[in-house]
Structure formats: structure tokens, C-alpha cells
Structure 1
Amino acid sequence: MEDSPKLIIRFALVAEQPNVRDEGRLTGAGFAESIAGIKRYTGFVRGRDLYPLFDHLSLEANPRAAKTGPVTDAILESLEMTPHLFPFKSKGILLGTSTFEALQRNRFELRFEDPASEGVLDGGHNMLAIGLFMLAEVVGEKQLARATLWDEMKELWEEHRKELEAVREKFDFLVPVELLVPSDPEDERSVQQFEMSVLDICAARNNNAQLTQEAKSNKLGFYDEIRQRLDPAIACRVEWKSNEWESGEGRPIKVRDLLALAWIPLNRANEAGLLPSNISVTPQNIYRNKGECSKQFDKLMLDRQVSEPRDGPVHELINERVASCFDILADLPKLYDKIYAEFPEAYNSNGFRFGANSIVKIYDPIRRAVAKDKTDYVAIQPHTPFTDRPVTYRYPDGLIMPLVYGLKGLMEIENDRVVWAADPENFLNAYLADIAGAYRLVLDMARFDPQKLSKNQASHEFAVSEFEKALLKHRAKQSSLGGATTTANKTDQPRLI
């Protein structure tokens, strides 16, 4: 808090809403509802007076990460060709902070104490484009072209800050800026109301830019507990925030893929009556409708018995039953990849040929090199989606999604928590071949059509029942071994006389 820098923004023109005259006309509950604890300053800021924002702010508060593309290209073209029209062609920048002071001469002293919810709420692409436009005065084209993300632009900004200061007066174009602050910064209730409203405002302003539901949920802190539980090697590859994944880093893990998997243990919890309300998703939606999984997840997390807001809009998980489902979820990405990687050989161990199906492709460079028909092979080795594990077979994940859901049959309830009934990795090592042999029935019935297979609830229920049967078999073995050990121990015990 104390380390957050103060910065001063000067408006060329600014209007206050509501102002003193508005307050005189608007009274009572209608007035309170109309302002919602928020005061707004709108106006124009000259480009050179935006320097303090570039010096001190990140775009952490913006739900979407800024990235160069058609949007920034259009903004740059407008700044270069028609700078006098820019304030009317652009919606500009939206700032928000609960700590501010209105100074003389249209100046405002701002402090952004919580970068996660205060700062640039909307207009990240405008900020990126304006920063690149200014840098073009002091940086070569090749170097500038490599700055495709906000953080890369900021690095250039800091590196060339002295040169930028020398050309500062050139940037007299106007930028629309809107500043949102508490209507009464001295009133704790007003400040709290402001903080709770900022996220909804931010999401609404980003609707035109196709802000995903996941981006808003990430800002609410709904994914924090999941992120903390995941293997760091997996968590760092998840695109928690839209556009934050660099194109050169390979394919990111979509957060909605994790939310879909979360409904495997959450459905188990709901069946046991452990969730505060009857909320679940159909098994087939985990594959075909991940948007619905995301919506239901938000509905669950917004329940006051599951999470509650702390420090403004950010929610904290308070439900141990849901927390236990997240513990299970932490294992599911690796188990998903394990099933994907090992199912073909488990299937083949029953005397079948997984690779004989046209939908399946094989990575075998030697055989591909001599094969007349190369359509059965892939030239590049495939990898699993979560742990990036190299595999021999490439096939649609719809073929094994019911099996992944089948892991629900390996979950049980203990002290009102969802737990594994057996170590899932060792269990798959021991029983995946048996389950794969039985699973051939649904594969044949669907004629290896991944859409028919994963969009059919019966195939998921079949997989769950096969895991439950294998668990019974496993427990019978454990009981038999335990009984033998107990008998042996009793025989070895000395007789008491």
C-alpha cells in the first residue's frame, strides 16, 4: 500500500459528474442510486500529460491483456493521419481509483493502491498504441515491431525514458479520459461501495470487446484457489486472462478446460448433497459446452455459502466441501493426459487395434518414411494438452472424454469431503487395460465417432460404472491381502499362557 506511487494527471478540459448543482437537484434514494458511490470526471488529456501513467501503471486491472493487432493498427493510423479527430474517434481510457485528491488547474493526484482492481479499467489497447506511437519518435522500426505486448512496450519505455522526455512536447494530441473515484473518499461506506462497483463497470465497458466470462471471474478471484493447487508447470501455461499468452509460447491451456474438469468432482459432491444448492452440469457438457460449465461455476462461486468478497470485489473461498473438489481437480489434468497417452496401448492389450481406425493417426517416422499411403501417420509428434507429454497416437479427445469423466467412479465422500478412494495414478496403472476392454463396447456402438460418443450421457455413465466395478475389484484384492496378512500375523503371535 505505502509503496504505491503518487502520480498527477492534468486534464486540458474536464467536467465533474455529478457536480454540486446536480447534488442540489437530486435528493433521497434516487440520488444515492444514481451515483452508486461513484463520482466521474470526464474530459481530454494531452498525450504528453499521459506520461505519468506510462511511468507507473500496469494493465493488471484491465480484464484483457493489451496486444498488438488490427485494433492497435487502427489507433496508430488515426494518431498518425488525423490526430485532431482522435478524441472523437476513440473511446479513450477509463481510470479508476479509491485514493485521489482533486488539485487546482484541472490536476488530480492519484494513487493506485490495489493494481488488481484499480488503474486502467478499459482502454488498454489505446494505451498500448499511444505508447508505441510515442516510442516511434525515439526507437527504430525493427525494435518497435518486437513490442507486441504491453510489458514489452513498457520495457522499451523505461529503456528510452530520457529520449522520450526530450520529445515530450511533440505530443499535444488529445485523448478522452474518464476518471472514476468514490463520491465521498472520506466515507468508508462510499469507498467500499465504489470498490464493489468497479469490477462490474470494468466488465460492462469491455463487453463490446468480447470480454470473456472467464476474464471477469478471474478478476473476482474465483480461480485463485485452483491456481494455487495446480502443479506450477501447468498453472503457468493457463491463459487466466484473455490475450496474455504470447503467440511464440505454444498453445495455452484455456481456463474453461479446467473449469469443465472441475465439474467431475463437483458433480460427485452435488450427488452427495454437499453443495449449498442443487447445481451441476450434464456429463456431456464437459465436452460439448464448456461455456455452460463456466457459467455454472460462476453461479456456484457467487453463492454466499461458497465464497465471500474480501478487500473489495475479490472473493475468498470459504466452503471446505468445494475446496475438496479443487484438491481433486489439481490431479485431473495429469490424469487426463495419462489416459490420453496410455489408452491406445491399454486398448490394444485386449487384442484390438486402436490404430486401425481412420480417425487415429500414428507418429512413427520410420514406418512413415517407407509407407506408400502416409495418411495414417503424422509427421510431427503429438503432445498431450496439459503436461505436454509426447505421445505416439493422435486422435480426437472426444474418444476418451467419457473415460476421463469415469474417474468420478473413483471418488468417494469422507467427512463431507470429496476424496480419492484409491491413488488414481496407481489405479490406472493396474486397471486401465480392463476398463479399456469393456469400453470397446461404447466405441463400437458410436463407430468411433467422437461427437456421438462424448455427446451421449450413457457413454459417460458406462465409464463411471466401469471405474466403480474396477474399484470393487481393487478393494476385494486389498481385503484379501489384508486378511492373509492378518492371519499370518496371528499365527506368528506367541501364545499367552
Structure 2
Amino acid sequence: MTTETTKLVIRFALVAEQPNPRDEDRLTSGTEENSIAGIKRYTGFARGKDLYPLFDHVSLEANPRAAKVGAVVKDILESLSRTPDLFPFKSKGVLLGTADYEALQRNRFELRFNDPASEGVLDGGHNMLAIGMHMLSAVADVSKIQLWDDMKELWDDNRVALEKVKDRFDFLVPVELLVPSDVEDERVVSDFEMSVLEICAARNNNAQLTQETKSNKMGFYDEIRGRLDKSIADRVEWKSNEWDSNEARPIKVRDLLALAWIPLNFANEKKLLPIDISVSPQNIYRNKGECSKQFDKLMADPSVSQKVDGPIHELHNEVVSSAFDILADLPKLYDRIYADFPEAYNSNGYRFGGNNIVKIYDPARRAAAKDKSGFVLTRPTTQFTNEAVDYRYPDGLIMPLVYGLKGLMTVKDGSVVWATEPFDFLDKYLSDIAGAYRLVLDMARFDPQKLAKNQASHEFAVGEFEKALLKHKAARADEGVFA
């Protein structure tokens, strides 16, 4: 993978090298030889105006958490405005990392970020956002900035004006630079690149860095992202805080990982996965954190993915790849079941809207009704595709049916594939399946928690899909179609 190198020079006002040459002599003279892990650190202070090159050229790709305006950024802005002299002692500042650098004269460092996804700003994204906004406020209105990208766009638009006010920004910012201890030693550089992610994650622990954010940084989600419809992929919150709170509700990445275990469980049952790993069906609803952890464990296995370009992993297991092909359809199938199930249930002579946990969108009926508790004012939408629907109800009611889609999967040439086209299948057989599913709804008394957290309800749904598939194949055979 070829990426364009970002090159810049940053100047420290004060800087210290750790370990310095004298420390290195002591550290390598005895048993402490490996105690610094092949990493050198420069710590000190840089003036705000000397950080301009960072804002000009660096993204926040390497920072696992996306920066957005919130209470933290507002506090930093207040500190910069009211007590700029105290800022270097109140802030952790910015952590930079790169495997390619050169120490120049007068406390200057040339930094070359060959892979912006793993090098650059490793920690301090909120500080960077606040500092950028603070400096921009001298030349532009920053009130509409919500995300780093908003700030960066405004920065670029006002770059000429910023240069004219540059000397105003003498406040100091703590800056820490991590580099390999020996840039000429390929082994040291390689080890450094592998260490960057762990350092980055550890530095972000106090900021409640999510497991999914770390996994995204390791490339575990790249194959999923590439398979999803763009309209869905663009709404997924792949890393913490990257979603604009003013936009529609984002899709949590762990919701996708939970769905991934439907084909992955099938693959494991067929002994296709390189390790014995699965999640219980009910955990797809009740414990998505466990689904995420198990996903990481699977993806980190050397028989599934291997490291390339530092911490980034590349998938090379065909079975897991085929499971992701199935996963690409599951968000839309989930929404199809959610949208169509009420009418499929009603087609059997039942009344889905008769239960008090089900709300109906029907403005005309609501206006005429004495009891309006069974209606909603705003039209509901489905979780993944934002499709408008006429019923709002807890998704726990249909989670076993979503898991039941496992009954439509089969093995072909060692890969997991659909045994039949799943969308057409739902159009034809969801009504039959909904009629049988009434049994588990009645047994659970329409309690979505009891339904979704009971393994038997999931197994029942899989069985109903399998029975409907047999019926479908028999009908196809009668028609002379055997594929």
C-alpha cells in the first residue's frame, strides 16, 4: 500500500532528550539494555505559533479517538483564553510519533509521516482541536465547529489571515515526540512501529477509549467497511466521538460485530474456522461487548489476519472473508424483518398492534382515537437504512428471527454462502415463519427481554427458517429448478 509522505518541521522552545547519550551508555552497559524498548522520547514545550505546520499538514488518523467539541474542548478553550501562562502545566498537551525523523539544529525536528494511519498525533486530539479553534478565533467565527474536520477546513480557508496574526500565539504547549532509538536499524524501526498502537491505546485509556476504536485502528474492520453499502458504512461510528451529534443517530460498530457472529457461528458449527470460537445467540442482543471481544480474538489470530504496515492487520482467511460477505446483507435483512414482521404477523389473523409495547404511526387514526397511547407522533425508521416504517417496537421481539437467518446459510467450496436469495425468501416465507413464531411470542408474553435473552427462541427461529427453506427447495424442484 502506497501512501503520500507528510513532511514538516516542528520547533521546540525547550526540549529534553530521553534517554540522552549519557543515559544510553548506562542503559546498554548491563542488564538494562532493553529497558527502553527501542524508543527515544523528546519532551518539552512548543509555542502555539510553532505548531502551525501540524495544523497545516497532519490529520488525526493516528489518534484512536476522533476529536469533537464538548465539555473537554470548551474547558481547554477557556484555559487558553483566561490563563495561557498556566496552560502548559494544566494540559497533557500533544503526543507525536513517527518512525522517520531527523533532529536539526536549534531544537527543530523534521518529521516524516509515511503512514498517517499510524503516525502523527497519537494522543491529544482534543487539545489540537481546541488550540486550532483558539488561534482561528482571531480571524474567523468558530462557533459552528463541531469536529476536527470542520476546524481543518476553516483553518485551510483562513490560512493567509492566520499567518498575519501568527506572532500573537506565544503560549506554550507540552509536546512529546516518540521516535525509534536508532532509525538506521530496521529491526528497531519495525519494533517501534509495532509498539505505536499499544502506546497510543494506553495513553488514551483514561479517556475511556473503547475496544472497538482500538480494533478499528488495527484494521480489523476494513474488510467489513468495504463490503457494506456506502449509505450504511458512512453512518457507522467506527471510532469514538467521530459522529456529529447534530446528525442522525449513528450505527454503533458493535451492532455490526454482533451481526457478524451469525455467519461466524455457522462457520464454527461446520468446523470451518481455524480456531474454535463462537458466541451464544442471546449475546448478539444482550452482550455486544462480548461479541466485540470474541471478534478481536478471532481477527488477531495469525491464521486469520497478519500485520502489514505496522499495526494494521490484513485479512487472509477465506472462510472469515465469506462470513463478511454474508454480513454485508445482514443490516438490510435486519431492517427488512423489522419493517415487514408486523404485517406478516397480522396476515395470520393476529393483531400485532394490540400489544401495549407496540406503537403505530397513523396520524388519522391517532386524531380520532380517545386513547392515543398506542400511537406515535413521529414516523419511526429502521436502525441501519433509516427506512420509514409504520410500527415502533423493541427490537428484542425480532432478534431471534434475525438470528434465524442462519438457517438460510450453507457451505460451498469451503465458504459460507446463502442457500437461496434471502430478500426474495423473506418476501415469500416471512408470513409463514411469523405464524409459527407466535408460539414463542406467547410463551414470552411479548416480553422482548425474555425473547432475546433466551437461547431456545433463537434455535426455534433457526428451525423455522430451515423448514421454510426445505419447503422452498421442494417447490423449486417441482418447478424443475434444482440450483
For Structure 1 versus Structure 2, the TM-score category normalised by the shorter chain is over 0.9
Tell me the amino acid that sits aligned with residue 442 of structure 2: D
Tell me how far 1:130 sits from its aligned partner.
0.6
Larger radius of gyration: 1
1:242 match: secondary structure: coil
Aligned partner of 1:180 among 147, 164, 178: 178
Greater shift in the superposed pair: 3-12 or 275-284: 3-12
Say whether residues 1:108 and 2:121 are aligned partners. Answer: no
2:479 match: secondary structure: helix
Say whether residues 1:255 and 2:253 are aligned partners. Answer: yes
Tell me how far 1:30 sits from its aligned partner.
4.8
Tell me the amino acid that sits aligned with residue 26 of structure 1: L
Aligned partner of 2:383 among 365, 375, 385: 385
Aligned partner of 1:395 among 372, 386, 393: 393
Q: What's 2:148 paired with?
A: 150
Tell me how far 1:3 sits from its aligned partner.
4.4
For 1:302-381, list aligned pairs within 5 A.
302-381=300-379
2:344 match: secondary structure: helix
> Are 2:73 and 2:129, in contact at CA under 8 Å, matched by a contact in 1?
yes
Greater shift in the superposed pair: 23-32 or 126-135: 23-32
Aligned partner of 1:410 among 408, 411, 426: 408
Q: TM-score, normalised by structure 2?
A: 0.97
Pick closer, same or farther for the CA change 1:479–1:2 going to 2, 3 Å.
Answer: closer
How many aligned residue pairs are there? 481
Structure 1, residues 316-373: CA drift from partner, whole Å, max 9, x if none? 0010011010010001011000000000000001100000000000000111111111
The whole-number CA distance in structure 2 between the counterparts of 1:2 and 1:443 is 54
Greater shift in the superposed pair: 83-92 or 472-481: 472-481
The whole-number CA distance in structure 2 between the counterparts of 1:87 and 1:363 is 55
1:180 match: secondary structure: strand
Tell me the amino acid that sits aligned with residue 50 of structure 1: L
Tell me how far 1:393 sits from its aligned partner.
0.5
The whole-number CA distance in structure 1 between the counterparts of 2:139 and 2:235 is 34
Tell me how far 1:33 sits from its aligned partner.
3.1
Tell me how far 1:473 sits from its aligned partner.
1.3
Q: What's 1:463 paired with?
A: 461
1:440 match: secondary structure: helix
1:83 match: secondary structure: coil
The whole-number CA distance in structure 2 between the counterparts of 1:156 and 1:127 is 14
For 1:7-156, list aligned pairs within 5 A.
7-27=8-28, 30-139=31-140, 143-156=141-154
Tell me the amino acid that sits aligned with residue 305 of structure 1: S
Structure 2, unmatched stretches of 5+, are none
Pick closer, same or farther for the CA change 1:323–1:50 going to 2, 3 Å.
Answer: same
Tell me how far 1:190 sits from its aligned partner.
1.1
Aligned partner of 1:481 among 467, 479, 482: 479
Higher helix share: 1
Tell me how far 1:450 sits from its aligned partner.
0.4
Tell me how far 1:28 sits from its aligned partner.
7.0
Greater shift in the superposed pair: 227-236 or 303-312: 227-236
The whole-number CA distance in structure 2 between the counterparts of 1:428 and 1:160 is 54
Pick closer, same or farther for the CA change 1:30–1:61 going to 2, 3 Å.
Answer: farther
**RMSD of the TM alignment (CA)?**
1.4
> Are 2:410 and 2:419, in contact at CA under 8 Å, matched by a contact in 1?
yes
Tell me the amino acid that sits aligned with residue 133 of structure 1: H
Structure 1, residues 19-77: CA drift from partner, whole Å, max 9, x if none? 21121111279545322221111111111111111111111111111111100111111
Greater shift in the superposed pair: 222-231 or 143-152: 143-152
Tell me the amino acid that sits aligned with residue 190 of structure 2: Q
Q: What's 1:298 paired with?
A: 296
The whole-number CA distance in structure 1 between the counterparts of 2:158 and 2:337 is 51
For 1:424-435, list aligned pairs within 5 A.
424-435=422-433
The whole-number CA distance in structure 1 between the counterparts of 2:432 and 2:269 is 26
Structure 1, residues 400-422: CA drift from partner, whole Å, max 9, x if none? 00000000111111221111111
Tell me how far 1:244 sits from its aligned partner.
1.4
State, as a whole percentage, how many aligned pairs show the same letter: 74
Tell me the amino acid that sits aligned with residue 450 of structure 2: K
1:110 match: secondary structure: strand
> Are 2:6 and 2:58, in contact at CA under 8 Å, matched by a contact in 1?
no
Aligned partner of 2:417 among 413, 419, 431: 419
Structure 1, unmatched stretches of 5+, are 486-497
The whole-number CA distance in structure 1 between the counterparts of 2:210 and 2:310 is 21
Tell me the amino acid that sits aligned with residue 463 of structure 1: A
The whole-number CA distance in structure 2 between the counterparts of 1:472 and 1:276 is 30
Pick closer, same or farther for the CA change 1:336–1:104 going to 2, 3 Å.
Answer: same
Q: What's 1:265 paired with?
A: 263
The whole-number CA distance in structure 1 between the counterparts of 2:7 and 2:260 is 42
